[in-house]
Structure 1
Amino acid sequence: MAVQVARVTEVIGASPKSWDDAVAVALKRANKTLRGLTGLEVVRMNAHVEKGKITEYRARVKITFILEE
């Protein structure tokens, strides 16, 4: 059995729609440059507010991927 080594990187996704969409944006972007994605953890969610309304949802996400040999 081969030994696998994983790495974790943190990205922030933003969306005007929802926190779910912000997470999806972060994952989609990570998927463009990283291979072997195996999981994610939502670390923090926050939002930008203007005039009492949310204008941007933000999700800080830790992405786990397997390093290639």
Structure 2
Amino acid sequence: MSVLKVIEILANSDKSWEDAARKAIKHASKSVKNIRSVYVQDQSASVSNGEITEFRVNLKITFEVN
């Protein structure tokens, strides 16, 4: 039987929501092992002078607990 845990993390990028999600997983995988899936719970962006300046994602990461 596997035991799975879910954590919630926030990340940002000046390029895209996808880049923010990739950065989040890359950073989280340094301390969280056995990541199985990621769920993008929410997306938002910061705007300045009519342009998007920052993409933000709120993720739920599922990983197996040993």
TM-score (norm 1): 0.91
Three-state SS of the structure 2 residue aligned to 1:33 is coil
Q: What's 2:14 paired with?
A: 16
> What's the CA shift string for 1:13-54, capped at 9, x where partnerless?
100001110110111111111001000100000001111111
- The percent of aligned pairs where both chains have the same amino acid is 38
- Could you say which residue in structure 1 is the equivalent of 2:54? 56
Query: Number of aligned pairs?
Result: 66
Runs of 4+ in 1 over 3 A off after TM superposition: none
Computing the radius of gyration from Cα coordinates, the structure with the larger value is 1
Stretches of structure 1 lacking an aligned partner (at least 5 in a row): none
**Distance in structure 1 (CA, Å) of the matches to 2:43 and 2:64:** 25
Q: CA RMSD in A?
A: 0.6
Matched, 1:47 2:40: no
Q: Distance in 2 between matches of 1:27 and 1:33?
A: 10
